[in-house]
Structure 1
């Protein structure tokens, strides 16, 4: 069994309060347009017309060669943490990149692939059956943006 995991609430609250992002910059405030603005904390799409943040995020505990930094969106106001065993609303594209990481936060080579969205749960579970894999990241197949983490339930 797997669990979809959002960025930690304390991280989201820090960004929402204006703390610097992974590049040392204040999160940018924008108004959501269209339907393609996924919040990485509540794991829902940010409603059109709502205020949102755009910032650089590193979903790893410390800098190292495999600790990718990239843009994410967040609700500008406090939102409840998303996650659980059901596929979150932010996974609305036809496919995503899936990639396994070790307990040392390094890519486990051979675990990355572009997979159809309806296969993410099965693909993540298969990777998590490998004892070398501590967790899985899901990234956009089009822009490589971090979406969420998948852990063992």
Structure 2
């Protein structure tokens, strides 16, 4: 089984639309705020915000297929363009965080759920993708349940 994985935040096309229109796809205005202490999980570049960065909280639906799991939730993103996520494995700033991993099939139905302890998410993801029924895995915040990013097989 191919375990080369891609890690995807909010799509660039959606970010461009939000930044251009000054509101998200659900009608919420883009309100710039300064990250005071840093640490907010940014779903655009898959890093944690640094103190002083301009960020905003918008609504995003990470599931591209419909169905009961196609929920909309809050995500932090940079107000202005930022670099794309680095494509060399599990996002560095998220490696030492506890996470909920939710695998879904191609129809968008949740198959399982795993709480990954700090430092184990990448290993747990590879194990989940050993199941050929798994199409994507959403990595989520343990406390708030917010979507952090989506993982899928490459190729």
- Same fold, judged at TM 0.5 (above): yes
Where does residue 138 of structure 1 map in the other structure?
Answer: 139
How do 1:30-45 and structure 2 match up within 5 A?
30-45=33-48
> Is the contact between residue 66 and residue 108 of structure 2 (CA under 8 Å) also seen in structure 1?
no
Structure 1: 4+ residue segments shifted above 6 A: none
- Classify the secondary structure of the residue corresponding to 2:126: helix
Equivalences, count: 151
- Classify the secondary structure of the residue corresponding to 1:16: helix
What is the TM-score when the length of structure 2 is the normalising length? 0.87
Pick from 79, 87, 91: which aligns with 2:90? Answer: 87
Structure 2 unaligned blocks of 5 or more: none
Whole-angstrom CA distance in 2 between matches of 1:90 and 1:42: 10
CA RMSD after TM alignment: 1.8
How do 1:83-122 and structure 2 match up within 5 A?
83-91=86-94, 94-108=97-111, 111-122=112-123
Whole-angstrom CA distance in 2 between matches of 1:135 and 1:103: 8
**Deviation of 1:133 (Å):** 0.7
**Deviation of 1:102 (Å):** 0.9
Structure 1 unaligned blocks of 5 or more: none
